[in-house]
């Protein structure tokens, strides 16, 4: 007996083909990209974010060519936590004051659009002064002890500040030998600084840190436009509002001496300063 097709069979239409599959795959791919982008934004805004060091103002701790991760939760969140400083966060949420000796990333006045990295020296109410190249905090000198010279190999992204610092390392390579000192803040935080000689910024007046602000200095004391200089673009940062904080330096993720070439992949490895990777602050 011949079967008569039912209405449901007639309405079903032709069987599905592979013609619809690429559209579905494209939809899934773009959805994946959207979620990936969102995840990266959340990660970089609220958890950790990478930063690179383009100068030598924080020698000897940080070298030109260093790349580090900074924690974003350490001092709270503001619009400066977000990409391009999008003003979506009012004020500062979960605000926390940094400690003396912290290495912080912040937006530098007056434009508040450039990331800087310096060390916290003074907090609200502190009196900060530099006399003869030594930091004084609240009327007392911060201990500064001479230690072995900082030896920095000469590479494409490093140079010696003058012939008096030039030398030769044990391997015959050119190096820079810089006078190095260890400072210890009242809270016990110790770190190394460079003092290359007498400069005008080695003697300052007394700075009183206002409420909600911080006095910042570079560890390379004679090559750092920091809070000793007025907040003029390209000339200094002045005393910086804590509201401008972006994050706290946490761990070194990579470092290069600047000799790598894109068209020579093997140089990506020979240029790496492997011993610096993984260092904490």
Tell me the pTM: 0.85
From 118, 224, 227, 255, active-site residue = 118
Which candidate in 49, 57, 224, 227 is catalytic? 57
Query: Options 3.40.50.620, 3.40.50.1380, 2.10.109.10, 2.40.50.140; which CATH number does 49-276 get?
Result: 2.10.109.10
Question: Is 45 annotated in the active site?
Answer: no
CA–CA dist 217, 213 (Å, integer): 14
Longest Cα pair distance anywhere in the chain, in angstroms? 112
Each of the 281 residues of the chain gets a pLDDT tens digit; together they read 444 444 444 344 555 454 555 666 677 877 877 887 777 777 788 899 999 999 999 999 999 999 999 999 999 999 999 888 888 888 889 999 999 999 999 999 877 888 999 999 999 999 999 999 999 999 999 999 999 999 999 999 999 999 999 999 989 999 999 999 999 999 999 999 999 999 999 999 999 999 999 999 999 999 999 999 999 988 899 999 999 999 999 999 999 999 999 999 999 999 999 999 999 99
In whole angstroms, what is the distance from residue 214 CA to residue 97 CA?
9
Of the candidates 161, 193, 190, the one whose C-alpha atom is nearest the C-alpha of residue 177 is: 161
Whole-number Å distance between alpha carbons of 105 and 82:
14
CB 178 within 8 Å of CB 165: yes
CA-nearest of 261, 246, 259 to 50 is: 246
Q: Which of 43, 112, 116 is nearest to 73 (CA)?
A: 43
CA distance 214 to 83: 24
Residue 24 is predicted with a pLDDT of 67
Q: CA 154, CA 168: separation in Å to the nearest integer? A: 10
Which residue from 239, 153, 193, 184 is spatially nearest to 58, judged by alpha carbons? 193
- Please indicate whether residue 118 is annotated as part of the active site: yes
Q: In this structure, are residues 252 and 278 in contact, taking their beta carbons and an 8 Å threshold?
A: yes
What are the C-alpha distances in Å from 33 to residues 23, 26, 38, 199? 15, 11, 9, 53
Residue 258: partners with Cβ closer than 8 Å, 6 or more residues away:
64, 65, 155, 156, 157, 158, 271
E strand segments, the chain? 48-52, 66-71, 103-107, 115-122, 127-131, 134-137, 140-141, 144-153, 166-168, 174-184, 190-194, 207-208, 213-217, 240-241, 245-255
């Amino acid at each position: 007996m011949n079967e008569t097709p039912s209405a449901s069979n007639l309405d079903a239409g032709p069987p599905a083909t592979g013609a619809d599959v690429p559209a579905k795959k494209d939809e899934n791919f773009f959805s994946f990209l959207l979620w990936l982008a969102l995840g990266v934004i959340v990660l970089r805004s609220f958890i950790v974010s990478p930063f690179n060091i383009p100068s030598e103002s924080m020698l000897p701790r940080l070298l030109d060519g260093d790349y580090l991760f900074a924690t974003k939760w350490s001092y709270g969140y503001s619009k400066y936590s977000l990409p391009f400083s999008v003003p979506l966060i009012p004020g500062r949420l979960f605000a926390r004051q940094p400690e003396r000796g912290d290495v912080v990333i912040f937006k530098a006045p007056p434009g508040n659009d450039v990331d800087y990295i310096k060390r916290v020296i003074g907090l609200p109410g502190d009196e900060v002064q530099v006399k003869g190249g030594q930091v004084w905090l609240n009327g007392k000198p911060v201990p500064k002890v001479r230690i072995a010279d900082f030896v920095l190999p000469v590479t494409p992204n490093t140079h010696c500040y003058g012939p008096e610092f030039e030398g030769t390392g044990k391997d015959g390579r050119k190096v820079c030998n810089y006078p190095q000192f260890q400072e210890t803040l009242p809270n016990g935080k110790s770190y190394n600084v460079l003092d290359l000689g007498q400069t005008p910024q080695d003697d300052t007046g007394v700075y009183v840190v206002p409420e909600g602000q911080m006095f910042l200095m570079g560890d390379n004391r004679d090559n750092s436009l920091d809070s000793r200089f007025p907040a003029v673009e390209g000339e200094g940062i002045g005393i910086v509002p804590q509201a401008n904080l972006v994050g706290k330096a946490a761990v070194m993720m990579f470092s290069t001496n600047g000799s790598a070439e894109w068209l020579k992949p093997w140089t990506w490895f020979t240029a790496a300063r492997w011993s610096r990777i993984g260092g904490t602050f």
